[in-house]
Structure 1
Amino acid sequence: MVHASGEVREGRQAAGPLSILMAAVGVVYGDIGTSPLYTLKEVFTGGYGVAASHDGVLGILSLIFWALVWVVSIKYVLFVLRADNEGEGGTMALLALARRAALGYPKLGAVLVVFGLCGTALFYGDSMITPAVSVLSAVEGLELAMDGIKHLVVPITLVILIGLFILQKHGTAQIGKLFGPVMVCWFGVLGLLGIYGIYQHPEVLKALNPAWVLRFFEVHPGISVSVLGAVVLALTGAEALYADLGHFGRKPIARAWFALVLPALVLNYFGQGALLLGDAEAVRNPFFLLAPSWALVPMIVLSTVATVIASQAVISGAFSLTHQAIQLGYIPRMHIQHTSSSEQGQIYISAVNWTLMVGVILLVLGFKSSGALASAYGVAVTGTMLCTTVMLSVVVLRLWRWPPLLSVPLLLGFLAVDLLFFTANVPKIIQGGAFPVVAGIALFILMSTWKRGKQLLVERIDEGSLPLPIFIASIRIQPPHRVQGTAVFLTARPAAVPHALLHNLLHNQVLHEQVVLLTVVNEDSPRVPREQRIDVEAYGEGFFRVILHYGFMDEPDVPAALALCRLDGLDFTPMRTTYFLSRETVISSKLRGMARWRENLFAFMLKNANGNLKFFRLPLNRVIELGTQVEI
């Protein structure tokens, strides 16, 4: 899953078609483009019971080819890419669309949220495995070039990966410019090597006939489904096509796939298959053995660079997805650092970066080889694909309102294939694939607990709140002392009096001349136009209600937004404006809500989450925080 190149978003219209295509190749297709490094090797050496015989090779190649056609070309390129949320794609953008489609059906909406969170949680597990297996598989090529270097593969891999994570905080704007040319070169080499192999044994092209898929299932009835757990490795990274919709648009991604990526992948897989038809012993590493001996070392270098690019894309994708999840209220607020002063998409989140790094290191040390890691790969990928299909189905039937006679058979076809791949990968959970599943379950618990905890917190605060009209009426009867300036009180309930306002009045016995109740609303759309950002309503007696609307790709900046507010009686001059924040301390109770352990977990998360001050970019010297305890 890829979000590495935020610089493309701003310059998409200005750049030429060729440069956009090249950038799309570099950013979108890094993950799926490095799959040939380990896919066929895992199929024939991963203990699935498939021999590298004539029929076995042709059957597997036919499975890989038609999986690429059905899952990637038809499902993702032709259909999923159309599910754009105002130009944005990815799991969270699709979840927002699906929730919109389920309006009026709360139970369906709740089920969709579960699928959306599952897909998001599994992606983080995938974000740890992808760098580990990709770089390991590239570095393992050194074993073919140099004797006695096997013991250095893991240390070299760790050095490359740790260096990659350390560099994240410096941004990828400059090095990102190399992604496109390097990956175009990579796919060109993949295609040339494939042609070289096919020339040796052109009969391998028979695998284009889907009859070989049926023959494979007929000859291998006991293992035909389980081997899909290895075939799916050829599809890893398919979600990137949709995730990077906002960076490039549908047409450049589709054109890059059909014009370069798909032909190069098919040629290389068939070239490796042709090699196996001539020498079954080459199964130990068909990708590197396909290259002439003089090209082995350059191929190792190029493949290592390509896997680093793929890893970089996945890491950046985790940053982007986290940012969206924070805005939609599924993850606690974290400090987001912008690594480019001119490009909106270039962000760095240290908590995500170091967590991913620890996970990747543990995976490399625990599995020690790409083959062992590949056996654990696929659970997260197929789980995410399945969640995408479920949410897409709701969007197609309820939001787009496509004719059921046409759409239902197609959606059932997508669902059936996804279920087959997912079922094939379930046994991997007890064969080493538990890591992404456990990580996904943990993240699902954290996200669902945070979302539910925030809802309960608002409900509990609302229960004891004072309606604003009653409060203003009491002010008219018994006016307090008013001081100059504007007081902005952040509140989740614009119609109720914030606790911070009541505490300030109780302890200081004063009110400001202008009192603003500010509510920030995160919409299900990616961005909110500036002219639609602010809603203002005057209540009289110097009280105003202001609602700021932000999309899940917007960067909240409250002072900047308030400066655009035009209403008589409102003055947001920086040195005359004071922001009052309420910091809640949550106490677990026997009130109906969540299990006690989840309430305690939420209290811990709330205590350690970034506050409103940094997240909304409030001026440090103009903020007053007032605490309150809330039982949930």
Structure 2
Amino acid sequence: MTDTAATPEMETPPAGGHGAPDKQKAGKTALAVGAIGVVFGDIGTSPLYAFRETFRGAHSLAIDEAHVLGVVSLIFWSMTLVVSIQYVSILMRADNKGQGGSLALVALLSRHMGKSKYGWLTVLLGVFATSLFYGDSMITPAISVLSAVEGLTVVRPDLERFVIPIALVLLVCLFVLQKRGTAKVGALFAPVMIVYFCVIATLGTIQIVQHPEILWALNPWYALNFFLIDGWLAFLALGSVVLAVTGSEALYSDMGHFGRGPMKLSWFGFVMPCLLLNYFGQGAMIVGLDAAAANVAIQNPFFILAPESLRLPLVILATLATFIASQAVISGAFSITHQAIQLGFIPRLSTRHTSETEAGQIYIPSINWALMIAVIILVLTFQNSSNLASAYGIAVTGAVTIDTLLMAVLLMGVWKWKKWIAIPVVLLFLIVDGAYFLANLTKVPDGGWFPLLVGAIVFTLLTTWARGRKLMRERMSEVALPMEIFAKSAKNSATRVPGTAIFMSSATGGVPSALLHNIKHNKVLHERVVILTVLIAEEPYVDPDARCEMHDLGDGFYRAVLHYGFMEETDVPLGLKSMERCGGQFDMMQTSFFLSRQTLLPSDKPGMPIWREQIFSWMLRNAATAMEFFRLPTNRVVELGSQVRI
């Protein structure tokens, strides 16, 4: 396997003639526009609540020029360090064949470092970062939609009683629409988000022109002075300031959809300037008001930026933007789940493809409805976006801190940076990200416990499934009969019947239990017997030319392997079409698939605690069938049961 992602990739020169650079530029621009609609919704809707919560949170900062300049300066430098440098400039260069995200990064590190001494720790960190993502994907739709709908109270205070019902209706509609896929509404995402970013930038610019002194916040001294003035309160305020960079990890996770170049163009050329103009505009507006008016405006500065006649349209636009941001997070949860299934951390789940042309557009019903129930409970429990802000941030800062630790392994273990360069870089980001994470830990009693609880539950489920599968394979391999010996003994002891029998096997050695049970009870063998294993590589996509692997065992027995990347769909019938060497073409009407279904039995010496065995058994019973997962023809499948002790 070639190590194409071991070092930052260089731009390849465009192929073609005189017009090739122009075409490449046009394609990059189109992708950059598309990324604005799909990727940047989460971080793009942060101005709705981030600046406000820094002053309105439990720490209650004084509303004066020094504090406003300090907060705006912190937001600017946080966005610069965490998003622009750490994620966009460094981590996005750590792509696993074009894919990003914690799991893709772990797979990249595992592939390059092999079975190193601390490889298991790298995997656990990546799995925990993934677990925290699920907590984030529950809170993001709730806080985003609620904060937008709360803008109605700025238009008319008496509409406050309708905020929660309207938000719940929008959120339920959002989840119900998931099964239709994003292909049709996706075309509307970019124009809406571009209008949204232009509007918030314009509103911010108007205030900056009126109060240009806010631009002093570009000086990091004002961020430092904030800590010199308030100390502990400034540290607590970090828990709200970090809301301005929520969505940074999602940028890395969504890199595979648009590519590093277009996303960098979108961020530096459009999204970041628009966001900063709005944050600086909110600060400028507060600085320009007297104390009484500032205390009123800080309740919802995002909407008060707009003239009174334009506030209702701004509420509608912001609601559309939060709807799109929530859509992106939910789609991200489907994508992360698909990766985790393929990498062996989650049992097979029913997955539907919502687009005939885009393989990445999938819908996982169980994840969708679980998220919807969690979001509804969050809205009804926390009641408003300010309360939800207390729960928000821990999942994001936890995942960002873990990514920093993984980045340390990447810089020194894979890219081989010199230690005198790598260590200061890693320490800088550990200090920044660690400070945000510690500040958010102070919010645990006020709601921060929720994403931590979700993360702990998901982490337990993921590691239990991975451990249980490993134990099952070990137990089954202990009693497995070598295929070569079985083929020689079985060729004359059973009646051969026309057709092809494909026995699915999770191991590349030994005889599948389904084959043993079939010959034991039915005493027949098909003319062609294929032992088929599907292997998932630690890279997103596998070269189609390397998809198939076949070994002729003689006497009509074959061992075949189909290789897939962790982002690919495991369509076995489609894969078999390219495996003509395996005794000829596969005619699905003459082919039968035999599957093994394992039942767990208590063991005298269990490989993991009983409570984890019970969880694993429950997950095994509720996993989607191999028939559905591998897209096997329903009328050509036979299931045979077996019992396993772990």
- TM bin, normalised by shorter chain, reads over 0.9
Question: Within the alignment, does 1:55 sit opposite 2:70 as a pair?
Answer: no
Answer whether contact 1:42 1:375 (CA < 8 A) is retained: no
Q: Matches of residues 350-369 of structure 1 in structure 2 within 5 Å?
A: 350-369=365-384
Answer whether contact 1:587 1:603 (CA < 8 A) is retained: no
Q: CA deviation at 1:474?
A: 2.5
Task: Render the CA deviation track for 1:33-69: whole Å, top value 9, x for unaligned.
Answer: 1100001110101121321111111111111100000
Matched to 2:538, the amino acid is D
Matched position secondary structure for 2:107: helix
| Pairing partner for 2:442 from 427, 442, 450 | 427
Question: Within the alignment, does 1:113 sit opposite 2:128 as a pair?
Answer: no
Matched to 1:614, the amino acid is E
Between the aligned residues of both structures, percent identity stands at: 51
Matched to 1:341, the amino acid is E
Answer whether contact 2:580 2:586 (CA < 8 A) is retained: no
* Structure 2 match to 1:262: 272
* Structure 1 match to 2:456: 441
Distance in 2, Cα, partners of 1:342 & 1:453:
36
Question: Within the alignment, does 1:212 sit opposite 2:222 as a pair?
Answer: yes
Answer whether contact 1:525 1:552 (CA < 8 A) is retained: yes
Distance in 1, Cα, partners of 2:115 & 2:457:
30
Q: CA deviation at 1:233?
A: 0.2
* Structure 2 match to 1:591: 605
* Structure 2 match to 1:517: 531
Answer whether contact 1:589 1:596 (CA < 8 A) is retained: no
Task: Render the CA deviation track for 1:370-397: whole Å, top value 9, x for unaligned.
Answer: 1111121100000111111122221222
Distance in 2, Cα, partners of 1:73 & 1:164:
30
* Structure 1 match to 2:161: 151
- Evaluate the alpha carbon distance shift between residue 494 and residue 570 of structure 1 in structure 2; reply closer, same or farther with a 3 A threshold: farther
Question: Within the alignment, does 1:132 sit opposite 2:142 as a pair?
Answer: yes
- Runs of 4 or more off by more than 4 Å in structure 1? 12-15
Matched to 2:353, the amino acid is H
Distance in 1, Cα, partners of 2:332 & 2:48:
22
* Structure 1 match to 2:393: 378
| Pairing partner for 1:162 from 172, 183, 186 | 172
Matched position secondary structure for 2:338: helix
Question: Within the alignment, does 1:142 sit opposite 2:152 as a pair?
Answer: yes
Matched to 1:470, the amino acid is I
Q: Matches of residues 168-179 of structure 1 in structure 2 within 5 Å?
A: 168-179=178-189
Question: Within the alignment, does 1:68 sit opposite 2:102 as a pair?
Answer: no
- Evaluate the alpha carbon distance shift between residue 271 and residue 528 of structure 1 in structure 2; reply closer, same or farther with a 3 A threshold: same
* Structure 2 match to 1:399: 414
| Pairing partner for 2:363 from 343, 348, 354 | 348
Question: Within the alignment, does 1:417 sit opposite 2:428 as a pair?
Answer: no
Matched to 1:77, the amino acid is V
Q: CA deviation at 1:568?
A: 6.3
Matched position secondary structure for 1:148: helix
Distance in 2, Cα, partners of 1:563 & 1:376:
50
Matched position secondary structure for 2:67: helix
Task: Render the CA deviation track for 1:352-375: whole Å, top value 9, x for unaligned.
Answer: 111100111011000111111112
* Structure 1 match to 2:14: none
Answer whether contact 1:102 1:108 (CA < 8 A) is retained: no
**216-225 vs 620-629, which moves further:** 216-225
Distance in 2, Cα, partners of 1:96 & 1:416:
26
* Structure 1 match to 2:89: 78
**228-237 vs 41-50, which moves further:** 41-50
Matched to 1:48, the amino acid is H
Distance in 2, Cα, partners of 1:344 & 1:431:
41
Answer whether contact 2:540 2:566 (CA < 8 A) is retained: yes
Distance in 2, Cα, partners of 1:101 & 1:414:
23
Question: Within the alignment, does 1:328 sit opposite 2:338 as a pair?
Answer: no
Distance in 1, Cα, partners of 2:427 & 2:111:
22
Matched position secondary structure for 1:553: coil
| Pairing partner for 1:499 from 492, 497, 513 | 513
Question: Within the alignment, does 1:387 sit opposite 2:398 as a pair?
Answer: no
* Structure 1 match to 2:55: 44
Task: Render the CA deviation track for 1:386-418: whole Å, top value 9, x for unaligned.
Answer: 111122221222222222222221122112211
Question: Within the alignment, does 1:556 sit opposite 2:570 as a pair?
Answer: yes
Answer whether contact 2:552 2:582 (CA < 8 A) is retained: no
* Structure 1 match to 2:614: 600
- Evaluate the alpha carbon distance shift between residue 438 and residue 471 of structure 1 in structure 2; reply closer, same or farther with a 3 A threshold: same
Task: Render the CA deviation track for 1:216-267: whole Å, top value 9, x for unaligned.
Answer: 1111112222211000000001112211111111111111111111111111
Distance in 1, Cα, partners of 2:402 & 2:602:
33
Distance in 1, Cα, partners of 2:24 & 2:379:
41
Task: Render the CA deviation track for 1:8-41: whole Å, top value 9, x for unaligned.
Answer: xxxx979634322211111111011110000111
- Evaluate the alpha carbon distance shift between residue 481 and residue 597 of structure 1 in structure 2; reply closer, same or farther with a 3 A threshold: same
Q: CA deviation at 1:607?
A: 0.7
Question: Within the alignment, does 1:541 sit opposite 2:524 as a pair?
Answer: no
| Pairing partner for 2:478 from 460, 463, 469 | 463
Q: CA deviation at 1:277?
A: 1.0
**479-488 vs 253-262, which moves further:** 479-488
**259-268 vs 558-567, which moves further:** 558-567
Matched to 1:421, the amino acid is Y
Distance in 2, Cα, partners of 1:252 & 1:475:
58
Answer whether contact 2:558 2:582 (CA < 8 A) is retained: no
| Pairing partner for 1:291 from 306, 309, 331 | 306
| Pairing partner for 1:28 from 39, 49, 71 | 39
Question: Within the alignment, does 1:628 sit opposite 2:610 as a pair?
Answer: no
Task: Render the CA deviation track for 1:289-343: whole Å, top value 9, x for unaligned.
Answer: 1111121111111111111010111111111111111111111111111112222
Task: Render the CA deviation track for 1:465-520: whole Å, top value 9, x for unaligned.
Answer: 112222234236x5432222211111122220111111111111121222111111
Answer whether contact 2:359 2:568 (CA < 8 A) is retained: no
Q: CA deviation at 1:570?
A: 4.2
Matched to 1:416, the amino acid is I
Distance in 1, Cα, partners of 2:285 & 2:332:
35
**246-255 vs 465-474, which moves further:** 465-474
Matched position secondary structure for 1:610: coil
Distance in 1, Cα, partners of 2:608 & 2:490:
38
Distance in 1, Cα, partners of 2:212 & 2:487:
84
Answer whether contact 1:526 1:554 (CA < 8 A) is retained: yes
Answer whether contact 1:101 1:395 (CA < 8 A) is retained: no
Matched position secondary structure for 1:451: helix
Output the TM-score relative to the length of structure 1: 0.96
Matched to 1:449, the amino acid is T
Distance in 2, Cα, partners of 1:534 & 1:14:
36
Q: CA deviation at 1:165?
A: 0.7
Distance in 1, Cα, partners of 2:634 & 2:196:
49
Matched to 2:76, the amino acid is F
* Structure 1 match to 2:200: 190
Question: Within the alignment, does 1:248 sit opposite 2:266 as a pair?
Answer: no
Q: CA deviation at 1:94?
A: 1.0
Distance in 1, Cα, partners of 2:326 & 2:583:
53
Task: Render the CA deviation track for 1:111-155: whole Å, top value 9, x for unaligned.
Answer: 111111111111010001111101111111111111311111111
Matched position secondary structure for 2:231: coil
Question: Within the alignment, does 1:310 sit opposite 2:320 as a pair?
Answer: no
